[in-house]
Amino acid sequence: MDVTRTRPSLYGEIAHGLGFWTDRSAVHEAAAQGRALKLQQLIQAGAAVNIVAMDSITPLHEACIQGQTQCVRLLLDAGAQVDARNIDGSTPLCDACAAGSLDCVKLLLEYGATVNPPLFTFSPLHEACMGGNSDCVQLMIDRGAFMEAHDCHYGTPLHVACARQHYDCTKVLLTAGANVNASKLNETALHHAAKMKNTDLIELLVEFGGNVFARDNLNKKPIHYTSTGSPSFLCLEFYENTPLSLQQLSRVTVRRVLGTRAPEVVPKLGLPSRIINFLSYVPPPVVKIKSHDRMLNLKRISEDQMGRRNNLLYSASQDTNHKALYKHKINN
């Protein structure tokens, strides 16, 4: 029985006459399991590569979800729709980003996948941040992904990265110029970091200008989502009571004005390399000396003898000294 275009109002692929609806096909199975030889045989035998399962998932979706790069290439070469939508509206690029498959992401982009498809749920960049692959995040940003795109759940990709505690993804977004104080229902990324009790994320967000006094729709500041006396509480309390230095404020202001253009514009400002590095959040070089046949790293000297977080950062920059004051405070 030919069921092609039987339900055009419900399934996008069928609506465009690109496939037909089935529970699940052999092509889906081969693509999901990475059985490239079997998939190739099915294609050569005339199997439809745009066949749509009950949830509107195509074989290309399946291959991308599982990170099966070879199967992805076979399907694309055979005419698979690179921007096919499943029942949630997600494209194969969304699935590849969610899986953290950098090779699949590169391949889909090579075949013309849309970087910013019109979605109500997660964009490919949101999915990359959810999955935690910072290389995928960087690639999507390099290809023009919208860093301020809002989904219907979390907000921006930065919200997602912080809610999932993906430090590297968060740093990639901030370095690329993402708005650190972007909000959804007045909730910022710093609120998410505080809820997760993640001190490293809190420090990173504040370093890039995160507002510790921002209040969400419940009139709560980030500190209100921490436990009194906990490291995350002490961290936020310190930053509430200790203003950023003029040096730090200058950097935050410059980058806020430049926004997503900061990575491109800052190196062209004609300033000394040390200032360029500071504005670009490039850490100072690590100084090493030889003593008693051992290399001592002067940038970070551990003084933790009770299992407590007690590292003092040693650097010539005022920014690092500011952090050292906080480190000293929470351990005394």
What 3-state DSSP class applies to 176? Answer: coil
Looking at this protein, which amino acid is placed at residue 224? H
Once rounded to an integer, what is the mean pLDDT over residues 26-41?
A: 96
Global pTM reads: 0.80
Q: Give pLDDT, residue 287.
A: 62
Q: Give pLDDT, residue 69.
A: 97
Q: Give pLDDT, residue 295.
A: 44
Cα→Cα distances 90→99, 116, 184, 322, 324, Å: 13, 11, 22, 44, 45
Q: Among the listed ranges 144-158, 182-196, 296-310, which one has the minimum average pLDDT value?
A: 296-310
pLDDT-derived band at 284 (thresholds 50, 70, 90) equals confident
d(CA 256, CA 301): 33
Q: Give pLDDT, residue 199.
A: 98
Strand partners, 296: 289
- Asked if 128 and 161 touch (Cβ cutoff 8 Å), the reply is no
Q: Judge whether residue 238 has pLDDT over 50.
A: yes
pLDDT-derived band at 278 (thresholds 50, 70, 90) equals very high
**Out of 3.30.43.10, 2.60.40.420, 1.25.40.20, 3.30.465.10, which CATH number does the structure's domain 1-94+106-111 have?**
1.25.40.20
Cα→Cα distances 131→61, 68, 165, Å: 16, 16, 11
Cα→Cα distances 19→12, 22, 108, Å: 9, 10, 20
d(CA 255, CA 79): 44
Return the structure tokens found at 56: 């509107």
d(CA 186, CA 184): 5
pLDDT-derived band at 296 (thresholds 50, 70, 90) equals very low
First-to-last CA distance in the chain?
77
Average per-residue pLDDT in the chain? 84
Question: Which stretches of the chain are DSSP H helices?
Answer: 12-15, 26-33, 36-44, 59-65, 69-77, 92-99, 102-110, 124-131, 134-142, 157-163, 167-175, 189-195, 199-207, 231-241, 246-258, 262-265, 273-279, 318-330
What 3-state DSSP class applies to 297? Answer: strand
56 sits in the region (left: phi over 0; alpha: psi -120 to 50; else beta) called: left
Q: Among the listed ranges 3-17, 126-140, 311-325, which one has the minimum average pLDDT value?
A: 3-17
Q: Please report where in the chains the tokens 């005339």 appear, as a residue.
A: 46
- Asked if 36 and 64 touch (Cβ cutoff 8 Å), the reply is no
pLDDT-derived band at 290 (thresholds 50, 70, 90) equals low
- Asked if 71 and 39 touch (Cβ cutoff 8 Å), the reply is yes
Q: 146-156: b or e for each residue (b if 16 or more CB lie within 10 Å)? A: bbebbbeebbb
> What does the domain layout of the chain look like in residue ranges?
1-94+106-111, 285-320
pLDDT-derived band at 299 (thresholds 50, 70, 90) equals very low
- Asked if 139 and 107 touch (Cβ cutoff 8 Å), the reply is no
Q: Judge whether residue 328 has pLDDT over 60.
A: no
Return the structure tokens found at 253: 């202001």
